[in-house]
Structure 1
Amino acid sequence: MSHREHHHDIAPIREQIGKTRSKKGREFWRSLEELADTDKFRDFLHREFPALNAPETDPEMLDPVGRRNFMKLMSASLAFAGLTACTRQPKEFIVPYVRTPEGLVPGKTQFYATTMSLGGVATGLLVESHEGRPTKIEGNPDHPASMGGTDLFAQASVLQLYDPDRSQTELYLGDPRTWGDFLSELRAALDGQRTKQGSGLRILTETVTSPVLADQMKRLLVLYPQAKWHVYEPAGRDGARMGAQMAFGQFVNTVYQFDKADVVLSLDADFLTNGPGSVRYARDFMSRRRLTGGAKEMNRLYVVESTLTTTGAKADHRMPIKASEVESFGRAVARALGVSAGEPGQLAAEAGKMAEAVAKDLKAASGKSIVIAGEHQPAAVHALAHAINAALNNAGSTITYTDSIEANPVDQIASISELVNDMNHEKVDLLVIIGANPVYNAPAVWDQKAGKEVKFVDAMQKVATRIHLGMYNDETAAYCQWHVPETHYLETWGDGRAFDGTVSINQPLILPLYNSRSAHELLASMLNQPGKTSLDVVKEYWKTQITADFDQAWKKSLNDGFMANSALPAKPLSLKGDWAAALQPIKPAKSEIVFRVDPCVHDGRFANNSWLQEVPKPINKITWDNFAIVSAKTAGTVGLAPNAEPYHANAKMVKLIHQGHELVMPAWIQPGHPDDSITVYLGYGRDRAGSVGSKLGFNTYNLRTAAAPFIATENVKFEVAEGSYMLASTQEHFSIDTSGIGKDAFIEDSEDLVDRHIVRSGTLDEYQKDPKSLHHGAHRPGKELTVFPGYDYSKGYAWGMTIDMNACIGCNACVVACVSENNIAVVGKEMVQKGRIMHWLRIDTYFKGGTVNPEVFFQPMMCQHCENAPCEVVCPVNATVHDAEGLNVQVYNRCVGTRYCSNNCPYKVRRFNYLLYGDWDSPSLKNVRNPDVTVRTRGVMEKCTFCVQRIMNGKIEAEKEDRKVRDGEILTACQSACPTEAIAFGDINDPESRVAKLKTEPRNYEVLEDLNTRPRSSYLASVRNINAELGGAAGAGHSQETRKSGEKHG
């Protein structure tokens, strides 16, 4: 594929910002290219489907799928099915039951409660099972950590279960062995340690909250008293642990009640989508921003952050500053509140002004406020947050402290450093790695004795016996003599603690597909109990903990998914009198590199999950890659050209240097990013992730050191490198023409059509004064403009949906849920570049204001199910039709692929199967498909169906009981996955239904309503609670003049 250089001058962007302020320009924009409104972008927009209209000489659009790429595309976990002729198939049972359970109806789905842990923290789930096959993940509405919501990682975990790239048998030096062979070798190695009391034994795990696993480790350390248990999580919470140690003198767990907070200050914390309890926190926080049922009050969120996140996008006021300056901001707030925390150091005047205003607002909300620090921020920032919360008397009201939920709360960087040093100096004879991949993700460690940096992979090769338990034959497994396949959480028994300490039970949904073992089974073997199963281990432990009727309590816990009243009790704490003495003087940093977990593949553990790889990242919409995020000013300083023209994200390369480590990767200019700071995502550049995840992106772990795992400021440099790199971004895919039919977007006599208000927003003050102030511009025609006879939808069911843009956080849980529920194909990076992504639901990201600190809006967009649907009248074969309940229905076996419907859809929500993306023949991954949804083939158009299969199931259940469908009985996949309850669905003919009530709210509006399509989906406008003292819109960087210039359009 050729790489053309694409440049555009920054001058058009500045010109359009000026037009925005003078009411003559575009108010909302999706990318820098759209803001600049260049001739190339206009041409792209009017072509509507660039991939169909590209010139024959354009290899970027018309490059055929070569044999090598085709084979990769057809790999199993990329397109739901794989070439598994050389792999062992899972066991299959002809008769699933000796005696069919009473009440079980073949074909009817069953739901079972279980638990998924990420970073050691458990989230309660309900898993949909089709005759023994787990196919779909839902949130457990009774579980305190989810309340029915999920995140994208839980939604995609079912695909990982059926991934044929998973390890399938024990390996010794790469050759297949048996479990018995492994046990013999393990016993011999352990026998050698008994005489030395385990002085040469080291066990490395990721964060553990499982009480059962903790008990096993405790007993193992009693058996081998000189052995050491090391813990390392690549996206660990050392800052939070050590910050609590600094503030209180002990490790504690902090639990937040966002539903009780009037004012929230985030110090670089993306608490809505990242970290323990994020699913619950998102729901609690958004419960205070509903503005429904006559409510006209909402909370206020201040965010100070180094990278534009989903939390920052929802802020009422946001300040982009370098990660290394967040501590200075925290000290400024503390000083304004009378908290002794040292000098703030250098802080821009604008940031200082915001700190004063934030402190005043927090003080006014004493006892009803929260200050939360980011997971990757150092201990000092977390200690500052604790001190400020103490000064505000938030403990006991909006904040609760408990004992640590971790079984072994340690400084994990120190722990992995100690292990590397011990291995490097040949103090370790037996290393057992459980579920971790340190060869890939451990930082370089400074060895004081050797006087040099040492990598984990180099040190571990000095260990005589190396054992790895993991789901994949990954980078660490390759350097271990023994590799044991690990069971998936849907295949095994276990437990874990939620963010508040609630004990959650993990019960399997299916027998292990491969010859795998759990951590409980491995540790049982090390404890001379090789015959015990995970169930044996888990039940034996809890029998000693439950004093009441065990069988009854156990059955209830399995049914509920958690143990009732098991949350850790509140712990009264007081700040140490000398806590501030540990604060170090602030050293200003000229530049920095910030390491963040990737929003889609996390720390790299989900790199082989194609559903997650193809999900566009929330802000920049890039798929299948990582990159270096820079601000426009920083890019200009080092000579980086702005991002490419539409559909061609041909990014310039940049060389990053930290402490002598170098990495060359593509750069992406992102609005709202602080200057002199580069953010890179972890989780890419893997060598042995699997057929999907290997060789994708760039390994940013190579830049990390133990001294600076998240924020690097010393010996940091970045410069332009040679070459360019093709990124697949969907930011401008399916762009909607907001300029009006046949109108020039920027001529003065068409001012009302400059922006057709796809996004509508305003301030709380404006909404309180006049709720209609949010709606301006074109509206639905008062007269029915159609030549077709109308239809009376007032009888029977009339299905509709509302989406609250105030509550949507752009987390992508709904996108992955839709993929899982509706068997949506994955197309791969090259097809995404061609605009052929198949997602039925997309989340459009819009910016408003300047590029330095714009407001950000998320808008989920799926088929609107228009009553006057433009797609229906152009289909020559009646493949797209309307039913009596208002659904726009697609008849797949009628479709001949003319794509007229797609051309005529103003919302651009129809997807065409250009190729047969899925393998229909391989049996291994057929199990992940939903049998209630047709799998589409090449040449067929598809789109959102409002989960018609769920509607039909709900109607059947209601008819069996001779009643109507109850409100809330039918949940679409996107609705059930949403952690913030932003999506409502139901019968709009029922005036008591939630969706019908929401459609009467003053914030309700329809996208492109001037076209008279009469969509069944509508949106609730976004409202921000602005602090009048700061002025502006979403950030302190917005001047009062800027705010006034946008008042007409809200």
Structure 2
Amino acid sequence: MNRTTPDYAAIRRHLEGKQGVHYWRSLEELTDDPAFERFIEVEFPDIAPQMDRRRFLQLMGASLALGGLAACGPTPGTAVPYVAQPEIIVPGKALWYATAVQFTGYAQPVLGCTHVGRPTKLEGSPEHPASQGACDAFTQAALLQLYDPDRSQAPRFKGVESSWDAFESDAATLQAECDHDQGQGLHILMGASSSPSLQRQLEKLIVRWPKASLYRFEPFEEGRYGPARLAFGRPVEIHYLLQNADLVLSLEDDFLGAGPKQTSQARAWANRRLAAARGDGESRLVMVQASPTLTGANATETRRVQPAQLPALVRALAAALGEGSAAPLTAPDQQWVEAMAAALQSRRGRCLIVAGPHTPADVQAAVHRLNQRLDNVGRTVGYTAPVLFTRIGEAQLGDILALTQAIHNAQVRTLVMLDTNPAYSAPGDLYFREALEKVPTRIHAGLYYDETGARSHWHLCASHSLDGWGDARAVDGSVCISQPLVQPFYGTRTLVEIVAMLAGELSPDGHALVRNTWSSLPDDEWRRAVALGFIEGSALPSLQVTAEPVRIADAPVVSGLQVQFRPDPSVWDGRFSNSGWLQELPRPITTLTWDNIIGVSIAVAERYRLVSGDRISVMIDGRSVEGPAWVMPGQADTVVTLFAGYGRERSGRVGNGVGYDYAALRMADSPWLRSGATIARLDQQSSLAFTQMQHTLIGQDVVRHVPRAQAVGPARPTPELPTLYEQPVMSEPTWGMLIDTDQCIGCNACIVACQAENNIAVVGKEQVAKGRVMHWLRVDHYYDGSALDPGSTFLPVPCMHCEKAPCEVGCPVNATVHGADGLNEMVYNRCIGTRTCSSYCPYKVRRFNWYNWTENDEPSIQAARNPNVTVRSRGVMEKCTYCVQRISEARIAARKDGRPIAEGEIQTACQQTCPVQAIHFGDLSKKDSAVNKAKDSIRHYALLEELNTRPKTTYLAAIRDQKPGEEKA
């Protein structure tokens, strides 16, 4: 599509003139541009240049990274062939093991599925209260990271491959120096951690070398405990009890968005939402935000504010609730504050106020005080000791600013960096790369030979969570045990083993180190903990703390634009930038892939005549960052949002050189927000690959809402429409799916779960831009209302498995057929690639293989994929199968036992991983099945039901709540 600046004023008038609820998917859709109309009518738009051979091979690496490279090197032990095959190993039969992966220091409890010794899938641990069987996109993608061929494979000394023996020799010299001067000059920097074993080792190290210094640096976890110190006088972990909250007021806290607590918080919020849908209480969410978030997209009401206005707004709210004095507000803001205060007061003990970690510390501390005043503590919010350790012994962990100052003061003789990449992610004003060169001895341990590893004397290849022993605490504080699902592919060591080597232990054993931490556990309890994946009863106990009054400082007067710094929802701070699954995962709000953008408001776009894709320069105090603009409906007028995780130099073949790096503008004393920015439009455009307008459904009532007062009741009978098709006979079983759009938060974890389960290829930016993304499941994002402050609804769209499927009629070779159990099946060997079925499908859910992504697969790569799912070749159409391999497995087991398939025995991959339980699957032939019970709702409808395709995938309409203040409080 050519660049045409939209008439934003006309768009606003267009929406204001609509009667009732009007749904739209992008600003371009509202312009009535003929070029745009042509774009959405073409099923496979060719809007990108042809892929060159170099990029094709790079992206094959992204897809083929599913395969480990264990065959390229010796395994740590003696390989024993299956001459006498162990009884437990059955080819084609999966074995499951409990373990955990870590994300920003928090354990994510999982079950790992292995086939003949190879991990092929991760699922949330159903036994653990923090996951309850669900997990997020990052956890699903940890499997791909395990097999990433770009992982560090051997220790390096000054960039040259070395050995662990050589490092142990150098470590012995370091130990002698530290023993001589009590660790003077030894400084250790680590990423966030909750590992009791690592904490125990570091405590022993500090006792031995008391003059050593320890620091922690985690780019988006740095402010987690500081505000609690201000409120309570000590650091605490905050636990939202969202399942008990009738009303949640979020002040810039994206608690449903990407992050280590997303799964548990989304499940709790969904439980409250589900109870309200049944008529049990309320579930209202009010989001105050400057930039669109996933939490805001799911809110009853969003309120756009400039970040500088937030302190005054919170002061006024506190005053209305009886805390302190108010700051002057505009009349509309004052009216909103009074209505919100009344709504909160009327729900004492059943409401919750939360503040984001990037809001000012005094605002967060004041929120603790307000929750205490509203009797919410112990009901909708609780506190425990910190999950992430903040001190070692009596020593408080320093921050990266203190470390940088120590380097400049020549106090650092040896710097050990564990699982952190400050050379890439440190704030720009620290010039940490340059400071690092001043350190005489630099040791780095990490999963990748990254920007920091390349600038260190020693780089030590660290083990992945899935191929080494370890422990860490989950978000509730319970201790999770990580056991290896596979022997390490390379000569790696876990962090606890590396610290043991620094302390002088030769060839340490990871299992023994972790077991020693829990030596108080009897052997039978230890074995049970390993089998479960966590130690029962180890969650942190509740704390009784009192929040002291806090005065919120007046916000400084700001000029120019305000710049927010946020993690990317798919690659976070860059640690996942080499994952093809996550790079190609559409971002929840923008549906962008393979890039980061600079989010701007409609007001800024009007002022600078911007369209999405225009390259702009953001400048503050002589520093600048260039990147593509993206016009964000719902963005505060004077706010610009920059996203992390890109512009990497040493990420790997997938992540190198993609996007921009915003570090030049991020400062150590203001890591979340800066003011006084200006922007300039450059005479360039970036080619962005986004999926928002691909596979657009054409029809009425694609998305539906019902008022809360009308949401409870039985399903209405649907009239039988005339048809020329033969009436299908429902067999037993007949499988079907129900998706609750009121529960779906748009997190996209289901997409990654489907990709991992079904061997779906990564195709790359150019192919995504052409509409050739291979995901079997997409999550459409629909806006409604004003472009300045829109509402949002998410609509997951898999194959509908229609009873009267047009694709079956369209296929000339009978490659898509109706199965005995009601599934719309693909026979890959028959498909000749006419794509007729795709043109006949009104739901746009079929995917065509334009390339053969698997032709260069090594045997090890083939072994790493799900062996129960056929790997498709070029020229073949594919689509959602309802995870037919899981259906077959359950059917075989039931026949063997001489019984019917039990209710809930089959879960599709998307259903199993969904943190909010928005997806139901089961047997439609049984009237009392869970899926049929869920369908018996006045909210039930079928997508494009006027076409009479009789889809087996149907939906529950979202529920529209009244905003606080619209009803009698």
TM-score over 0.5 for the pair: yes
Q: Distance in 1 between matches of 2:789 and 2:286?
A: 13
Contact 1:493 / 1:507 at 8 angstroms: preserved in 2?
A: yes
Q: Which amino acid aligns with 2:681?
A: V
Q: CA 1:91–1:16 in 2, change beyond 3 Å: closer, same or farther?
A: farther
Which residue does the alignment assign to 2:265?
A: 281
Which residue does the alignment assign to 1:646?
A: none
Q: Distance in 1 between matches of 2:763 and 2:113?
A: 26
Q: CA 1:379–1:292 in 2, change beyond 3 Å: closer, same or farther?
A: closer
Contact 1:158 / 1:928 at 8 angstroms: preserved in 2?
A: no
Q: Which amino acid aligns with 2:695?
A: F
Provide the TM-score with structure 2 as the length reference.
Answer: 0.96
Which residue does the alignment assign to 1:723?
A: 684
Choose from 538, 543, 554 the match for 2:526: 554
Q: CA 1:388–1:784 in 2, change beyond 3 Å: closer, same or farther?
A: same
Deviation at 1:382, TM superposition (A): 1.3
Q: Which amino acid aligns with 1:126?
A: L
Q: Distance in 1 between matches of 2:251 and 2:68?
A: 48
Q: Distance in 2 between matches of 1:389 and 1:958?
A: 52
Is residue 67 of structure 1 aligned with residue 67 of structure 2?
A: no
Contact 1:88 / 1:168 at 8 angstroms: preserved in 2?
A: no
Q: Distance in 1 between matches of 2:511 and 2:479?
A: 16
Which residue does the alignment assign to 1:133?
A: 118
Deviation at 1:102, TM superposition (A): 4.6
Deviation at 1:733, TM superposition (A): 0.4
Choose from 280, 290, 295 the match for 1:311: 295
Give the 3-state SS of the residue equivalent to 1:872 in structure 2. Answer: helix
Which residue does the alignment assign to 1:688?
A: 650
Is residue 605 of structure 1 aligned with residue 575 of structure 2?
A: yes
Q: Distance in 2 between matches of 1:504 and 1:1031?
A: 45
Deviation at 1:709, TM superposition (A): 0.4
Q: CA 1:94–1:191 in 2, change beyond 3 Å: closer, same or farther?
A: closer
Percent identity, aligned pairs only? 41
Contact 2:642 / 2:662 at 8 angstroms: preserved in 1?
A: yes
Q: Distance in 2 between matches of 1:526 and 1:93?
A: 28
Q: Which amino acid aligns with 2:701?
A: H
Q: Which amino acid aligns with 1:798?
A: T
Which residue does the alignment assign to 1:430?
A: 414
Q: Where do 1:231-246 residues align within 5 Å?
A: 231-238=216-223, 240-246=224-230
Give the 3-state SS of the residue equivalent to 2:466 in structure 1. Answer: coil
Which residue does the alignment assign to 1:56?
A: none
Q: Where do 1:535-574 residues align within 5 Å?
A: 535-543=511-519, 545-546=520-521, 550-574=522-546
Q: Where do 1:418-567 residues align within 5 Å?
A: 418-444=402-428, 453-543=429-519, 545-546=520-521, 550-567=522-539
Choose from 143, 146, 155 the match for 2:140: 155
Is residue 301 of structure 1 aligned with residue 285 of structure 2?
A: yes
Choose from 720, 743, 749 the match for 1:782: 720
Contact 1:81 / 1:922 at 8 angstroms: preserved in 2?
A: no
Which residue does the alignment assign to 1:384?
A: 366
Q: Distance in 1 between matches of 2:796 and 2:499?
A: 46
Which residue does the alignment assign to 1:669?
A: 631
Q: CA offsets, 1:853-910, max 9 Å, x none?
A: 1110000001000000010101000000001111000100100000000001000000
Judge which range, 410-419 or 696-705, deviates more: 410-419
Which residue does the alignment assign to 2:31?
A: 36
Is residue 585 of structure 1 aligned with residue 554 of structure 2?
A: yes
Q: Distance in 2 between matches of 1:834 and 1:996?
A: 39
Q: Distance in 1 between matches of 2:484 and 2:71?
A: 27
Which residue does the alignment assign to 1:654?
A: 616
Contact 1:304 / 1:319 at 8 angstroms: preserved in 2?
A: yes
Provide the TM-score with structure 1 as the length reference.
Answer: 0.89
Q: Distance in 1 between matches of 2:677 and 2:788?
A: 23
Q: Distance in 2 between matches of 1:413 and 1:29?
A: 49
Contact 2:107 / 2:474 at 8 angstroms: preserved in 1?
A: yes
Q: Which amino acid aligns with 2:500?
A: A
Q: Distance in 1 between matches of 2:277 and 2:341?
A: 31
Q: Distance in 1 between matches of 2:727 and 2:856?
A: 42
Q: CA offsets, 1:207-245, max 9 Å, x none?
A: 11111110101110111100011000011141x311111
Q: CA 1:914–1:92 in 2, change beyond 3 Å: closer, same or farther?
A: farther
Q: CA 1:497–1:87 in 2, change beyond 3 Å: closer, same or farther?
A: same
Give the 3-state SS of the residue equivalent to 2:119 in structure 1. Answer: strand
Q: CA offsets, 1:319-378, max 9 Å, x none?
A: 1222333333222221111112x5435x45433332222221111111112111112223
Which residue does the alignment assign to 2:173?
A: 188
Q: Distance in 2 between matches of 1:124 and 1:1001?
A: 34
Which residue does the alignment assign to 2:702?
A: 758
Q: CA 1:251–1:83 in 2, change beyond 3 Å: closer, same or farther?
A: closer
Q: Structure 2: where are the runs of 5+ without partners?
A: none
Deviation at 1:104, TM superposition (A): 4.4
Q: CA 1:382–1:82 in 2, change beyond 3 Å: closer, same or farther?
A: same
Contact 1:871 / 1:880 at 8 angstroms: preserved in 2?
A: yes
Deviation at 1:920, TM superposition (A): 3.9
Give the 3-state SS of the residue equivalent to 2:937 in structure 1. Answer: coil
Q: CA offsets, 1:416-437, max 9 Å, x none?
A: 0010111122111111101100
Is residue 217 of structure 1 aligned with residue 217 of structure 2?
A: no
Which residue does the alignment assign to 1:258?
A: 242
Q: Distance in 2 between matches of 1:94 and 1:565?
A: 38
Q: Distance in 2 between matches of 1:683 and 1:874?
A: 44
Deviation at 1:260, TM superposition (A): 1.1
Q: CA 1:89–1:730 in 2, change beyond 3 Å: closer, same or farther?
A: farther
Which residue does the alignment assign to 1:835?
A: 771
Deviation at 1:1028, TM superposition (A): 5.8
Q: Distance in 1 between matches of 2:274 and 2:942?
A: 18
Deviation at 1:703, TM superposition (A): 1.4
Q: CA offsets, 1:840-865, max 9 Å, x none?
A: 00000000011011110000001000
Q: Distance in 2 between matches of 1:598 and 1:952?
A: 38
Q: Distance in 2 between matches of 1:717 and 1:1031?
A: 42
Contact 1:424 / 1:460 at 8 angstroms: preserved in 2?
A: no
Choose from 7, 10, 19 the match for 2:8: 10
Q: CA 1:914–1:91 in 2, change beyond 3 Å: closer, same or farther?
A: farther
Q: Distance in 1 between matches of 2:892 and 2:276?
A: 32
Deviation at 1:494, TM superposition (A): 0.8
Deviation at 1:98, TM superposition (A): 8.1
Deviation at 1:966, TM superposition (A): 1.0
Q: Structure 1: where are the runs of 5+ without partners?
A: 52-59, 445-452, 644-650, 739-755, 1033-1050
Which residue does the alignment assign to 1:1010?
A: 946
Contact 1:805 / 1:858 at 8 angstroms: preserved in 2?
A: yes
Q: Distance in 2 between matches of 1:266 and 1:669?
A: 24
Q: Which amino acid aligns with 2:296?
A: G
Q: Distance in 2 between matches of 1:501 and 1:440?
A: 30
Q: Which amino acid aligns with 2:251?
A: L
Deviation at 1:64, TM superposition (A): 2.7
Q: Which amino acid aligns with 1:789?
A: E
Which residue does the alignment assign to 1:447?
A: none
Give the 3-state SS of the residue equivalent to 2:114 in structure 1. Answer: strand
Give the 3-state SS of the residue equivalent to 2:664 in structure 1. Answer: helix
Choose from 17, 20, 23 the match for 2:18: 20
Q: Distance in 1 between matches of 2:332 and 2:86?
A: 67
Q: CA 1:975–1:413 in 2, change beyond 3 Å: closer, same or farther?
A: same
Q: CA 1:654–1:479 in 2, change beyond 3 Å: closer, same or farther?
A: same
Which residue does the alignment assign to 2:740?
A: 804
CA RMSD of aligned residues (A): 2.3
Which residue does the alignment assign to 1:344?
A: 327
Give the 3-state SS of the residue equivalent to 1:908 in structure 2. Answer: coil
Q: Which amino acid aligns with 2:285?
A: L
Q: Distance in 1 between matches of 2:83 and 2:380?
A: 53
Q: Distance in 1 between matches of 2:687 and 2:237?
A: 43
Q: CA offsets, 1:806-826, max 9 Å, x none?
A: 110111110000000000000
Contact 1:502 / 1:565 at 8 angstroms: preserved in 2?
A: yes
Contact 1:657 / 1:716 at 8 angstroms: preserved in 2?
A: yes
